[in-house]
Chains A and B, each alone.
Chain A
Amino acid sequence: NAGVTQTPKFQVLKTGQSMTLQCAQDMNHNSMYWYRQDPGMGLRLIYYSASEGTTDKGEVPNGYNVSRLNKREFSLRLESAAPSQTSVYFCASSEGLGFHNYGYTFGSGTRLTVV
Protein backbone atom coordinates (compact mmCIF):
# COMPACT_ATOMS: atom_id res chain seq x y z
CA ASN A 1 0.00 0.00 0.00
CA ALA A 2 2.43 2.66 -1.21
CA GLY A 3 0.07 5.66 -1.43
CA VAL A 4 2.03 8.58 -2.89
CA THR A 5 5.65 7.94 -3.80
CA GLN A 6 8.10 10.76 -4.45
CA THR A 7 11.61 10.50 -5.81
CA PRO A 8 14.27 11.50 -5.01
CA LYS A 9 14.08 12.12 -1.25
CA PHE A 10 17.11 14.42 -1.22
CA GLN A 11 18.86 16.38 -3.94
CA VAL A 12 21.58 19.00 -4.17
CA LEU A 13 21.76 21.03 -7.36
CA LYS A 14 24.06 23.73 -8.59
CA THR A 15 22.52 26.99 -9.76
CA GLY A 16 21.40 26.63 -13.36
CA GLN A 17 21.07 22.85 -13.33
CA SER A 18 17.79 21.19 -14.19
CA MET A 19 16.00 18.29 -12.62
CA THR A 20 12.65 16.52 -12.49
CA LEU A 21 10.89 15.48 -9.32
CA GLN A 22 8.80 12.39 -9.79
CA CYS A 23 5.51 11.56 -8.11
CA ALA A 24 3.28 8.51 -8.48
CA GLN A 25 0.11 7.46 -6.67
CA ASP A 26 -1.57 4.08 -6.59
CA MET A 27 -4.94 5.11 -5.13
CA ASN A 28 -6.64 5.83 -8.45
CA HIS A 29 -7.01 9.47 -7.46
CA ASN A 30 -8.09 11.99 -10.06
CA SER A 31 -6.23 15.04 -8.76
CA MET A 32 -2.57 15.61 -8.02
CA TYR A 33 -0.67 18.56 -6.59
CA TRP A 34 2.81 19.95 -6.05
CA TYR A 35 3.54 22.12 -3.01
CA ARG A 36 6.63 23.66 -1.58
CA GLN A 37 7.10 24.27 2.11
CA ASP A 38 9.44 26.88 3.50
CA PRO A 39 9.93 27.99 7.12
CA GLY A 40 7.37 30.61 8.08
CA MET A 41 5.64 30.39 4.68
CA GLY A 42 3.56 27.28 5.09
CA LEU A 43 2.54 25.09 2.17
CA ARG A 44 2.36 26.96 -1.11
CA LEU A 45 0.79 25.45 -4.20
CA ILE A 46 3.04 25.35 -7.26
CA TYR A 47 0.90 23.50 -9.82
CA TYR A 48 -1.94 21.07 -9.78
CA SER A 49 -3.76 18.68 -12.06
CA ALA A 50 -7.46 18.38 -11.30
CA SER A 51 -7.78 15.45 -13.68
CA GLU A 52 -5.71 13.54 -16.19
CA GLY A 53 -4.89 15.77 -19.13
CA THR A 54 -5.22 19.08 -17.28
CA THR A 55 -2.75 21.21 -15.35
CA ASP A 56 -3.12 24.62 -13.72
CA LYS A 57 -0.89 27.12 -12.02
CA GLY A 58 -0.97 27.60 -8.31
CA GLU A 59 0.33 30.39 -6.12
CA VAL A 60 4.05 30.13 -6.98
CA PRO A 61 4.48 28.61 -10.49
CA ASN A 62 7.40 30.68 -11.76
CA GLY A 63 10.50 28.62 -12.51
CA TYR A 64 8.60 25.33 -12.63
CA ASN A 65 6.85 23.16 -15.18
CA VAL A 66 4.72 20.08 -14.72
CA SER A 67 3.58 17.07 -16.69
CA ARG A 68 0.64 14.83 -15.88
CA LEU A 69 2.04 11.77 -17.61
CA ASN A 70 -0.99 9.58 -16.89
CA LYS A 71 -3.49 9.18 -14.10
CA ARG A 72 -0.82 7.85 -11.73
CA GLU A 73 2.11 10.16 -12.38
CA PHE A 74 2.67 13.89 -12.02
CA SER A 75 6.18 15.30 -12.40
CA LEU A 76 7.65 18.68 -11.51
CA ARG A 77 10.55 20.10 -13.48
CA LEU A 78 12.98 22.82 -12.58
CA GLU A 79 14.54 24.01 -15.83
CA SER A 80 17.25 26.25 -14.35
CA ALA A 81 17.49 25.90 -10.60
CA ALA A 82 17.97 28.97 -8.41
CA PRO A 83 18.88 29.21 -4.71
CA SER A 84 15.36 30.57 -4.06
CA GLN A 85 14.04 27.14 -5.04
CA THR A 86 15.74 25.53 -2.05
CA SER A 87 12.79 24.02 -0.24
CA VAL A 88 10.93 20.87 0.70
CA TYR A 89 8.63 19.74 -2.08
CA PHE A 90 5.53 17.69 -1.43
CA CYS A 91 3.40 15.89 -3.94
CA ALA A 92 -0.19 15.09 -2.95
CA SER A 93 -3.21 13.42 -4.47
CA SER A 94 -6.94 13.41 -3.84
CA GLU A 95 -10.08 11.85 -5.23
CA GLY A 96 -11.09 15.33 -6.26
CA LEU A 97 -12.52 18.13 -4.20
CA GLY A 98 -16.25 17.85 -4.68
CA PHE A 99 -18.73 18.93 -2.06
CA HIS A 100 -17.72 16.14 0.27
CA ASN A 101 -14.16 15.07 -0.04
CA TYR A 102 -11.43 13.46 1.95
CA GLY A 103 -8.59 15.88 1.49
CA TYR A 104 -5.12 15.09 0.32
CA THR A 105 -2.71 12.23 0.78
CA PHE A 106 0.86 13.50 0.81
CA GLY A 107 4.07 11.91 -0.35
CA SER A 108 7.10 11.84 1.93
CA GLY A 109 8.70 14.89 0.36
CA THR A 110 11.86 15.87 -1.50
CA ARG A 111 14.43 18.06 0.22
CA LEU A 112 16.08 20.15 -2.47
CA THR A 113 19.08 22.38 -1.92
CA VAL A 114 20.31 24.67 -4.68
CA VAL A 115 23.84 26.00 -4.16
Chain B
Amino acid sequence: QKEVEQNSGPLSVPEGAIASLNCTYSDRGSQSFFWYRQYSGKSPELIMFIYSNGDKEDGRFTAQLNKASQYVSLLIRDSQPSDSATYLCAVATVGYSTLTFGKGTMLLVSP
Protein backbone atom coordinates (compact mmCIF):
# COMPACT_ATOMS: atom_id res chain seq x y z
CA GLN B 1 0.00 0.00 0.00
CA LYS B 2 1.61 3.22 -1.19
CA GLU B 3 1.19 6.02 1.34
CA VAL B 4 1.77 9.73 1.20
CA GLU B 5 1.69 11.56 4.50
CA GLN B 6 1.17 15.24 5.14
CA ASN B 7 0.48 17.21 8.30
CA SER B 8 -3.12 18.37 8.00
CA GLY B 9 -2.38 21.74 9.62
CA PRO B 10 -3.45 24.42 9.57
CA LEU B 11 -0.02 25.92 9.15
CA SER B 12 -0.28 29.59 10.01
CA VAL B 13 2.35 32.09 8.86
CA PRO B 14 2.40 35.88 8.71
CA GLU B 15 2.47 37.68 5.40
CA GLY B 16 6.00 37.90 4.02
CA ALA B 17 7.28 34.84 5.89
CA ILE B 18 8.48 31.53 4.43
CA ALA B 19 5.94 28.71 4.55
CA SER B 20 7.38 25.19 4.65
CA LEU B 21 5.14 22.30 3.67
CA ASN B 22 6.31 18.73 4.10
CA CYS B 23 5.43 15.34 2.68
CA THR B 24 6.77 11.82 3.22
CA TYR B 25 6.11 8.80 1.07
CA SER B 26 6.42 5.09 1.66
CA ASP B 27 7.29 3.59 -1.74
CA ARG B 28 10.99 3.73 -2.63
CA GLY B 29 10.01 3.12 -6.27
CA SER B 30 8.43 6.58 -6.47
CA GLN B 31 10.05 8.71 -9.13
CA SER B 32 7.92 11.82 -9.73
CA PHE B 33 6.58 14.23 -7.15
CA PHE B 34 3.97 16.92 -7.49
CA TRP B 35 2.59 19.79 -5.48
CA TYR B 36 -0.97 20.92 -6.10
CA ARG B 37 -2.75 23.91 -4.62
CA GLN B 38 -6.46 23.72 -3.91
CA TYR B 39 -8.51 26.73 -2.94
CA SER B 40 -11.69 26.10 -0.99
CA GLY B 41 -14.42 24.92 -3.33
CA LYS B 42 -12.09 24.68 -6.30
CA SER B 43 -10.20 21.92 -8.06
CA PRO B 44 -6.51 21.14 -7.50
CA GLU B 45 -4.06 23.01 -9.72
CA LEU B 46 -0.47 21.97 -10.35
CA ILE B 47 2.18 24.22 -8.84
CA MET B 48 5.37 22.25 -9.34
CA PHE B 49 6.81 18.85 -10.08
CA ILE B 50 10.24 17.47 -9.27
CA TYR B 51 12.02 14.29 -10.36
CA SER B 52 15.59 14.62 -9.13
CA ASN B 53 17.14 14.98 -5.71
CA GLY B 54 17.80 18.55 -4.70
CA ASP B 55 15.96 21.80 -5.17
CA LYS B 56 13.83 23.15 -7.98
CA GLU B 57 12.81 26.79 -7.96
CA ASP B 58 9.95 28.52 -9.74
CA GLY B 59 9.33 32.09 -8.70
CA ARG B 60 8.43 32.16 -5.00
CA PHE B 61 8.12 28.39 -4.88
CA THR B 62 10.91 25.88 -4.23
CA ALA B 63 10.39 22.13 -4.23
CA GLN B 64 12.95 20.01 -2.41
CA LEU B 65 13.38 16.26 -2.85
CA ASN B 66 15.40 13.80 -0.79
CA LYS B 67 14.82 10.29 -2.07
CA ALA B 68 17.06 8.67 0.54
CA SER B 69 14.86 10.09 3.28
CA GLN B 70 11.68 9.69 1.20
CA TYR B 71 10.84 13.30 1.81
CA VAL B 72 9.62 16.11 -0.40
CA SER B 73 8.88 19.66 0.64
CA LEU B 74 7.52 22.89 -0.76
CA LEU B 75 8.81 26.27 0.36
CA ILE B 76 6.82 29.39 -0.35
CA ARG B 77 8.82 32.57 0.06
CA ASP B 78 7.26 35.97 0.76
CA SER B 79 3.95 34.29 1.58
CA GLN B 80 0.84 36.23 0.61
CA PRO B 81 -2.74 35.95 1.88
CA SER B 82 -3.63 34.69 -1.60
CA ASP B 83 -1.43 31.65 -0.89
CA SER B 84 -3.95 30.53 1.74
CA ALA B 85 -5.14 27.17 0.44
CA THR B 86 -4.72 23.46 0.91
CA TYR B 87 -1.54 22.03 -0.60
CA LEU B 88 -1.61 18.46 -1.85
CA CYS B 89 1.48 16.32 -2.32
CA ALA B 90 1.22 13.60 -4.97
CA VAL B 91 3.60 10.81 -5.94
CA ALA B 92 3.98 8.69 -9.08
CA THR B 93 5.64 5.28 -9.02
CA VAL B 94 7.27 3.44 -11.91
CA GLY B 95 4.89 0.86 -13.30
CA TYR B 96 1.76 2.46 -11.93
CA SER B 97 -0.68 4.56 -13.94
CA THR B 98 -1.99 6.71 -11.13
CA LEU B 99 -0.84 9.32 -8.64
CA THR B 100 -1.11 8.75 -4.92
CA PHE B 101 -2.18 11.88 -3.06
CA GLY B 102 -1.63 12.97 0.50
CA LYS B 103 -4.60 14.40 2.36
CA GLY B 104 -3.19 17.90 2.14
CA THR B 105 -1.92 20.64 4.43
CA MET B 106 -3.99 23.75 4.96
CA LEU B 107 -1.93 26.94 4.84
CA LEU B 108 -3.21 30.17 6.33
CA VAL B 109 -1.31 33.39 5.62
CA SER B 110 -2.37 36.29 7.81
CA PRO B 111 -1.98 39.93 6.70
A residues neighboring B (CB under 8 Å): 31, 33, 40-43, 45, 48, 50, 56, 58, 90, 96-97, 99-109
Contact = CB atoms under 8 A, between A and B. Distances in A.
Contacts, number: 57
A100 B51 contact: yes
Interface in B53-94: 88, 90, 92, 94
Given A42-B104, A103-B34, A108 B98 contact: no
B46 A97 contact: no
Nearest to A33: B98
B103 A106 contact: no
Contacts of B102: 42
Interface of B: 31-32, 34, 36, 42-46, 49, 51, 88, 90, 92, 94, 96-99, 101-104
Contacts of A43: 44, 88, 101
Given A97-B32, A101-B92, A107 B101 contact: no
A98 B32 CA distance: 9
Contact of B103 (A33, A42, A104): A42
A42 B101 contact: yes
Nearest to B92: A97
Contacts of A45: 98
The winner among A50, A56, A99, A104 for most chain B CB atoms within 10 A is A104
- The A contact surface, by secondary structure, is loop
Given A40-B103, A43-B88, A100-B32, A106 B43 contact: yes
The winner among B34, B46, B94, B99 for most chain A CB atoms within 10 A is B99
A107 B43 CA distance: 7
**9 closest A-B pairs by CB:** A42-B103, A50-B97, A106-B43, A43-B101, A103-B34, A97-B92, A109-B43, A106-B44, A108-B43
Contacts of B31: 99
Contact of A31 (B45, B46, B49, B97): B97
A41 B103 contact: yes
A97 B92 CA distance: 7
A103 B43 contact: no
